[in-house]
Structure 1
Amino acid sequence: MNKRLCCLLLALSSAAGPAHAGSASPQEIIEQAVQAGLRATGARGLALAVIEPGKPAFIRTWGERNAAGAKLEPDTIMYGASLTKTVFAYLAAQLADEKKLDLDRPLADYLNRPLPDYGNLPAYGNWGDLRGDDRWRRITARMVLNHATGFANFAFVEPDGKLRIHFEPGSRYAYSGEGIMLLQFVLEKGLQLDVGKELQRRVFDRFGMRDTSLTWRPGFARNLADGWKADGKPEPHDERSRVRAAGSMDTTITDMARFATALVNGEGLREAAHDGMLRPQLPITTRSQFPTLQANAAPAERVAGLSAGLGVVTFTGPQDPGYFKGGHNDSTGNMLVCLRVQRRCVVILSNDVRAEPAFAGIVQAALGETGMPWQWEYGPAKTSVP
């Protein structure tokens, strides 16, 4: 038995109980792990893609796409949530590779007037709130993509709803969708780029992602996934009409398999730019990802080797470097986990947020033990199924 199959069998035993699978194939082991996870969590739908090595090897769906019982399929339109941020980071890496964007130049340099002078814009962010705090002048694209702007996740989570900078930009990690929206604003207002069209041309069209968009298409309604919330209640799919690089993407598991393949292979990027996107750049010193503005943890409570890349989080484990990105809302749980050297990935899209505790077992069944920091991502309560 080869080393990888041995790892997969060990994963199955932890995720789905004893196996009668001395000769089970990797796909059978994944199948059993997913079925065990769905039974344990009660989740109604899940889509999975496995990339190995460097090409799609397995795409499969389970369950339902809506409360009427329609089947979830590989071409069902699902909400990408914050996986949008990684796709956007790929665009930024391309622009930097072409010398159209300097990741370390202050974003203020690209604007015709001071950021607060643009005011509070519903389509982007509450830039007017930053008046009187000139630290916004030091924020760079790299800081945005490292989640080091000093912003909260969004201004609306602040007690008074006002955007503010909580620490010196670039000094530490604190997840922020508002930061991503700042970079979108600068690309559109400063570089005169249409981010939706640029992503369509540079990423979605280039990689054959035919059913992916940052805005709603009427054709999506034909095969659309609604969602289920933590209390088991169904949630209709939101028809997002505005491009938001922080999280407006609709996609399919087939398309996300194509993106993960491009990402792991560095398609459309020179080697140095690809390495620059996925290498560790900013050490992460918090106990968990959320709440976003928590204090630094004591060294013994931190995840060793955990760092921010560009639009991903990097980690070290028994199979060498890895990186990941999650996506979440009240009715969505998504996850991308990749092993960099082996060019192997798992992509999970679930239209039921209750599926998230099953992700660790599913990823282990597909990739073996990776060292993926599940407790940092989700907290102990969502790390594994019962």
Structure 2
Amino acid sequence: MRRWFFALFAFAPAVVSAHEIPAPAAIDAEVARVMRDTGSKGLAIAVIDDGKPVHVAAHGVRNAAGDPLQVDTIMYGASLTKAVFAYTVMRQVDAGRFTLDTSLADMLPRPLPSYASADITNRFADWTALDERWRKLTPRIVLTHSTGFANFGFLEPDEKLHFHFDPGSRYAYSGDGLNTLQFAMETGKGIDVGTESARIFNELGMTRTSLIWRGDFAGNLADGWDEQGKVEPHDERSKVRAAGSMDTTIADFAKFAAAFVRGDGLKPSSRAEMVKPQLAITTRSQFPTLQPELPPEQRRKDLAAGIGVVVFEGPQGRGFFKGGHNDTTGNTWVCVEQRKRCVAILSNDVRSEAGFPQLVRFVLGETGVPFDWEYGTQ
């Protein structure tokens, strides 16, 4: 089954769409429509064409006082952090620090389950209940969300991580999987993820992005609105977490998106590895994370895990995307490889998500991005 799946991905026709990106004024008008229809208070958008930002704009407000959302307003990156972390990991792979298939057992000085809470100053997760299958964990397995873990250990009845399936055998989204790799990099390899990500941000001119809270963010900061329209203050995250601690701005994330789609900062082979279909996705939707796999005949054949992103095949050929979400945040980043085009959306109002499919379609045309799988809609 898997061999047939990857063959389909390899030989699917790559059609260059005739769709042209609308003018900035038309994009802004469509954003206004989406915000009106969803009740969203704030939404920022960046459009990349031929590997260059061609439109970056912010709409609405950033807090209950009505201060305007701006392109340099600090917004929560949520799980877009995972894609940035994957890029950071690939930089370390390119530097020869480890490979995608290095066992975490070869990265750590002692067995992962031996690290009890008292051993870890900057607490990540509780691995003490893991069996010997932990030795099968690799960066590739972690970054394709196939560890076998729940999304987070605190969701388990005993608040410890457990294997729900053999590592590498299927897709099931896990934030603590990425946090585990971060722990192995920092504890076993001496690679500080916060420092390495900051180096990347500096290279790309992302001066208002960090995986940990900075005091200078406070002057222009977005609070968030939940589904009921209640305002919640921005969370000042005090620990670097690969799964989702990034603060950024739409202007900064546009620079990352453009650099990524151009392939900047990585060996061509590493960039290709990130957007290659690594593992078939076999569930009806992304959440809940440990749902049963579909029967083979019902599984999507256009969808796979890449490295830190989800890869899809659509009318414009190969694409990839990554979402980000919490109770007051809705983010998405969608790219199509041909013509190096992307849309990145950061919203400080989770209600905006209902308008993302139409907004992305308006800008990029029909791409085949699997929003139905992402949001669990039919």
- What SS does the corresponding residue of 1:89 show, helix, strand or coil? helix
- Asked whether 1:74 is paired with 2:74, we answer no
- Asked whether 1:184 is paired with 2:153, we answer no
Percent of aligned pairs sharing the same letter = 56
- Asked whether 1:274 is paired with 2:271, we answer yes
Question: Partners in 2 of 1:379 and 1:206 — Cα distance?
Answer: 37
- Asked whether 1:125 is paired with 2:125, we answer yes
Q: Is the 8 A contact 1:336 1:348 kept in 2?
A: yes
Q: Is the 8 A contact 1:29 1:365 kept in 2?
A: no
User: How many residues were matched structurally?
Assistant: 359
- What SS does the corresponding residue of 2:189 show, helix, strand or coil? coil
Question: Partners in 2 of 1:299 and 1:50 — Cα distance?
Answer: 36
Match of 2:11 in 1: none
Question: Partners in 1 of 2:73 and 2:352 — Cα distance?
Answer: 18
- Asked whether 1:199 is paired with 2:197, we answer yes
Match of 1:259 in 2: 256
Deviations 1:16-65 (A, max 9, x none): xxxxxxxxx53233223211211111010000000001000000111000
Task: Output the TM-score relative to the length of structure 1.
Answer: 0.91
Match of 2:105 in 1: 108
Match of 2:237 in 1: 240
179-188 or 33-42, which deviates more: 33-42
Q: Is the 8 A contact 1:47 1:61 kept in 2?
A: yes
Q: Is the 8 A contact 2:149 2:177 kept in 1?
A: yes
- Asked whether 1:135 is paired with 2:133, we answer yes
Q: Is the 8 A contact 2:128 2:160 kept in 1?
A: no
- Asked whether 1:231 is paired with 2:214, we answer no
Alignment of 1:34-45 (within 5 A): 34-45=31-42
1:299 positional shift = 3.5
1:341 positional shift = 2.0
Question: Partners in 2 of 1:374 and 1:299 — Cα distance?
Answer: 21
Structure 1 unaligned regions, length at least 5: 9-24, 382-386
* Residue identity opposite 1:176 in structure 2: S
1:134 positional shift = 0.5
- What SS does the corresponding residue of 1:58 show, helix, strand or coil? strand
The one of 18, 25, 31 equivalent to 1:3 is 18
1:379 positional shift = 1.6
Q: Is the 8 A contact 1:284 1:307 kept in 2?
A: yes
Structure 2 unaligned regions, length at least 5: 1-16
Question: Partners in 2 of 1:276 and 1:309 — Cα distance?
Answer: 8
- Asked whether 1:220 is paired with 2:235, we answer no
Q: Is the 8 A contact 1:33 1:361 kept in 2?
A: no
Match of 1:170 in 2: 168
- What SS does the corresponding residue of 2:321 show, helix, strand or coil? strand
Task: Output the TM-score relative to the length of structure 2.
Answer: 0.93
Q: Is the 8 A contact 1:174 1:293 kept in 2?
A: yes
Question: Partners in 2 of 1:250 and 1:302 — Cα distance?
Answer: 35
Deviations 1:240-295 (A, max 9, x none): 11111110000000000000011101101111111011111101010000000011
Q: Is the 8 A contact 1:92 1:101 kept in 2?
A: no
1:156 positional shift = 1.2
C-alpha RMSD of matched pairs (Å): 1.3
Q: Is the 8 A contact 1:208 1:255 kept in 2?
A: yes
- Asked whether 1:333 is paired with 2:319, we answer no
Question: Partners in 2 of 1:84 and 1:149 — Cα distance?
Answer: 18
Q: Is the 8 A contact 1:151 1:164 kept in 2?
A: yes
1:127 positional shift = 1.6
Deviations 1:275-327 (A, max 9, x none): 01111110101000000001111234432220011100000000000000000
Alignment of 1:1-40 (within 5 A): 3-5=18-20, 25-40=22-37
Q: Is the 8 A contact 2:78 2:245 kept in 1?
A: yes
